[in-house]
Structure 1
Amino acid sequence: MTAPQPGQAGPLTAQQANPLGQLNQVTRLVTTLLSAWNESDPGRRTDVLETCCAPEISYVNPISAAQGPAAVADLIGAINTQFPGIAPHRTSGIDFHHTHARFSWVMRDRAGQELLAGFDIVTLTPDQARIASVVTFFGPLPPATVTYTYEMR
């Protein structure tokens, strides 16, 4: 246990004591998550997701949702069937605190054309060893005078 720093109450958390180590872990998890999009084989895609995601992973975006690595793998497969070769590419650093991280991305096709941009909010398991949930937003943030809502069908 590490002694408190001036102005801080109580002992340091693992993240406060080693923020670079935690950021490296989050970066590894996010990189692995995004790499699943490059797997054409559904079984291998599920295997990749199982290395970085909790068994009860929840994934939601404005038009779909999935629960568990196999369901997330199936969702990725369905998107890849509709848009062959599409894959996310991180376009920002990863902002991380406690068990939450956010980053921006673009979806590119095989030719490198950007088809969609957005950002993800990732929540890690309490031990920060795996991804517990992913919430995806499409497009840029709306102006302060506009609010978007999406209806799942």
Structure 2
Amino acid sequence: MPEYRTLAERYLDVWNATEPGTRRALIERLFTEDATYTDPLGSVRGWDGVDTFVAGAQEQFAGLTFSLGGAVDGHHDTARFTWHLGQDGAEPVVIGFDVIVTEDEDRISRIYGFLDKVPG
């Protein structure tokens, strides 16, 4: 059974890695090569798609970081968790809820994202 919290933390590490080479290496270690990411703002496939999508979010929300917003819950090959995007100690600018589907217990093959709070 996967260690769900560790996977969620590694996933958020990708979103927080602003150096392109580091971010890409984290993506290739965590995601399957044909992984899909889908949220209300887009849908991408593969390492290149995930990398481009994350880089775009980092550009839009420069200086903010992602953190877990609570417990990580999972069973079988699926986990869910809330995340926050903001500055340390401040009210989050964005709050989301993601569902990840794993492959081989330590790789993510699918992500489904939901946005619960977004800037006005």
What TM-score do you get using the length of structure 1 for normalisation?
Answer: 0.69
Inter-partner Cα distance in structure 1 for 2:58 and 2:87 = 10
Q: CA deviation at 1:133?
A: 0.7
Q: Please say if 1:128 is aligned against 2:113.
A: no
Question: Which is strand-richer, 1 or 2?
Answer: 2
Q: Which runs of 5+ in 2 are unaligned?
A: none
Inter-partner Cα distance in structure 2 for 1:43 and 1:111 = 29
Residue 55 of structure 2 is matched in structure 1 by 77
Higher relative contact order (CA 8 A, sep 6+): 2
CA RMSD, 1 decimal: 1.8
**Count of equivalent residues:** 117
Inter-partner Cα distance in structure 2 for 1:76 and 1:85 = 14
Q: Which runs of 5+ in 1 are unaligned?
A: 1-14, 16-21, 141-153
Inter-partner Cα distance in structure 2 for 1:101 and 1:37 = 18
What TM-score do you get using the length of structure 2 for normalisation?
Answer: 0.86
User: Per-residue CA shift, 1:6-51, capped at 9, x if unaligned?
Assistant: xxxxxxxxx4xxxxxx3xx222222111011222222221111111
> Identity over the aligned pairs, expressed in percent?
25
